[in-house]
Amino acid sequence: MKRIAVLTSGGDAPGMNAAIRAVVRTGLSRGWEVFGVQHGYAGLMSGNIRSMGLRDVGGIIQQGGTVLGSARAPEFKTLEGRTKALRELRQREIEGLVVIGGNGSQTGANAIFEMDFPVVGVASTIDNDLYGSEITIGVDTALNIALEAIDRLKITASSHQRAFLIEVMGRDCGYLALMSGIAGGAESIVIPEVPTEPEAIAEELHAAYERGKAHAIIVVAEGAKYNAEALIKYFKEHQATLGFEIRASILGHIQRGGMPGAFDRLLATRFGAAAVACLERGEHGVLVGLNKNEITTTPLSVVVSSKKNLNLDLLQLAKELAQ
Ligand code: ADP
């Protein structure tokens, strides 16, 4: 019998629970013992680890967030912290670990793989900035939440002939802003990958006003040089040149908390099951992801040293469609 553990780390993402459930149930169905680690690497270092049964993951597939809890644990970046964590795992004779999380979490996973511990990563972050998976757990749900907000704000914007600045999450990655902007029919999209000066956005707004638009929606990524706060400050000072009166809305953590949609539940379920299959066949130090609609594995060393590129052709398309 094999003994494995699962943890969720870093930013929570809708669908993490479906991945936990899949790891626990596919592990148990092999006759293995499966442990859940509370609060990510923090719980690993403090030994907050418990055996999980079939019923422990009942009724969680539809819940956002993570029943195991997540945390940011800076101590895990130190050799001392990781040694402590490995001691906790070895004491319990745990032979494999599944790490569900984003860039930072997979860097941590790679670090313990390099210390000879069998680990498999599962690609999970709403930012979609993780190399090795075209789409990650939580992106689709977060995107739909952002989109619903954009649709709603567009209605009120149109009623008052206003411009609305909507800031979405994504850290340094513009994926959520770009995709929600296109799907929501934004007049302007501001992402970190393409530095944009406020003057250029003001011109776009003014042009939209001149074309007789009833509203203007600007979707801004939180990681852009000029985020919502910086842009609103600029626009307040240059109100007269815009045409539209402007309002801002920062969506923030609302994007994280949603009930996972069908896509994320299925993706997370497939990822969790695939991670257990990796541990079974001894394929360690890899990230389970989705590429060209197939479940794939990519070495964690490659994942953490590579940057995922955003398809910037889509930004050009968004500009054409905004006319
Ligand atoms: P995410 O996984 O969502 O990108 P973070 O970047 O906050 O989230 O990382 C989550 C956790 O992963 C950190 O709190 C830390 O415990 C661990 N981690 C991040 N970077 C490293 C690193 N370079 N080495 C070891 N562990 C790391």
Secondary element (H or E) of residue 84: helix 79-91
Pick from 68, 76, 127 the residue to mutate for probing ligand 1's pocket: most ligand atoms within 8 Å of its CB: 76
pLDDT tops 80 at residue 26? yes
Ligand 1 mean position to 169 CA, how many Å?
18
Phi/psi region, residue 213 (left: phi>0; alpha: psi -120 to 50; beta: rest), is: beta
Contacts of 288 (CB under 8 A, 6+ apart): 120, 121, 122, 123, 133, 271, 274, 275, 278, 295, 296, 297
What is the β-pairing status of strands 294-299 and 286-291?
antiparallel
Cβ–ligand 1 contact at 238 (below 6 Å): no
Please indicate whether the domains covering 3-138+260-305 and 141-255 agree at the CATH topology level.
yes
User: What does each C-alpha distance from 61 to 49, 58, 96, 295 come to in angstroms?
Assistant: 21, 8, 23, 20
Ligand 1 mean position to 110 CA, how many Å?
11
Question: What confidence score (pLDDT) does residue 257 get?
Answer: 82
State the Cα–Cα distance between residues 142 and 88, nearest whole angstrom: 34
Question: What confidence score (pLDDT) does residue 244 get?
Answer: 83
Question: Average pLDDT of 10-20?
Answer: 97
Question: Average pLDDT of 293-310?
Answer: 97
Please, what is the average pLDDT of the chain?
94
Sheet of 119-123, strands arranged across? 49-52, 33-37, 3-8, 96-101, 119-123, 286-291, 294-299
CATH fold of 3-138+260-305, please? Answer: Rossmann fold (3.40.50)
> Which has the closest alpha carbon to 191: 233, 226, 232?
226
In the chain, the amino acid numbered 116 is D
pLDDT tops 80 at residue 241? no
Q: Give the number of the atom of ligand 1 that is nearest the alpha carbon of residue 106.
A: 2
Cβ–ligand 1 contact at 10 (below 6 Å): yes
Catalytically annotated residues: 127
Q: Give the number of the atom of ligand 1 that is nearest the alpha carbon of residue 125.
A: 3
Question: What confidence score (pLDDT) does residue 157 get?
Answer: 82
Ligand 1 mean position to 129 CA, how many Å?
14
Cβ–ligand 1 contact at 75 (below 6 Å): no
Q: Give the number of the atom of ligand 1 that is nearest the alpha carbon of residue 304.
A: 23
Q: Which residues on neighbouring strands pair with residue 286, listed in sequence order?
A: 120, 299
Q: Round to the nearest angstrom and report the end-to-end CA distance of the chain.
A: 62
Cβ–ligand 1 contact at 102 (below 6 Å): yes
> Which has the closest alpha carbon to 16: 50, 72, 71, 61?
61
Phi and psi of 171, rounded to 5°?
50, -125
Contacts of 148 (CB under 8 A, 6+ apart): none
Question: What confidence score (pLDDT) does residue 258 get?
Answer: 84
Ligand 1 mean position to 4 CA, how many Å?
21
Global pTM?
0.95
Question: Which single residue is written with the structure tokens 């989109």?
Answer: 147
Question: What confidence score (pLDDT) does residue 67 get?
Answer: 98
Ligand 1 mean position to 76 CA, how many Å?
8
Encoding tokens for residue 103?
Answer: 């860039």
Query: Where in the chain are the domains?
Result: 3-138+260-305, 141-255
Question: What confidence score (pLDDT) does residue 313 get?
Answer: 94
CB 89 within 8 A of CB 97: yes
pLDDT tops 70 at residue 101? yes
Residue nearest to atom 16 of ligand 1 (CA): 73
Q: Give the number of the atom of ligand 1 that is nearest the alpha carbon of residue 11.
A: 3
Cβ–ligand 1 contact at 72 (below 6 Å): yes
Ligand 1 mean position to 75 CA, how many Å?
10
Question: Average pLDDT of 184-202?
Answer: 93
pLDDT tops 90 at residue 262? yes
Q: 240 falls in which pLDDT band (50, 70, 90)?
A: confident
Question: What confidence score (pLDDT) does residue 1 get?
Answer: 66
State the Cα–Cα distance between residues 173 and 105, nearest whole angstrom: 17
Cβ–ligand 1 contact at 43 (below 6 Å): no
Residue nearest to atom 12 of ligand 1 (CA): 105
Higher pLDDT, 252 or 31: 31
**CATH code at 141-255:** 3.40.50.460
Question: What confidence score (pLDDT) does residue 295 get?
Answer: 98
Q: What is the 3-state secondary structure (H, E, C) of 264-316?
A: HHHHHHHHHHHHHHHHHHCCCCEEEEEECCEEEEEEHHHHHHCCCCCCCHHHH
Q: What percent of the chain has pLDDT over 70?
A: 100
Q: What is the pLDDT of residues 222-232, one digit of tens each?
A: 999 999 899 98
Question: What confidence score (pLDDT) does residue 309 get?
Answer: 93
> Which has the closest alpha carbon to 37: 97, 123, 83?
97
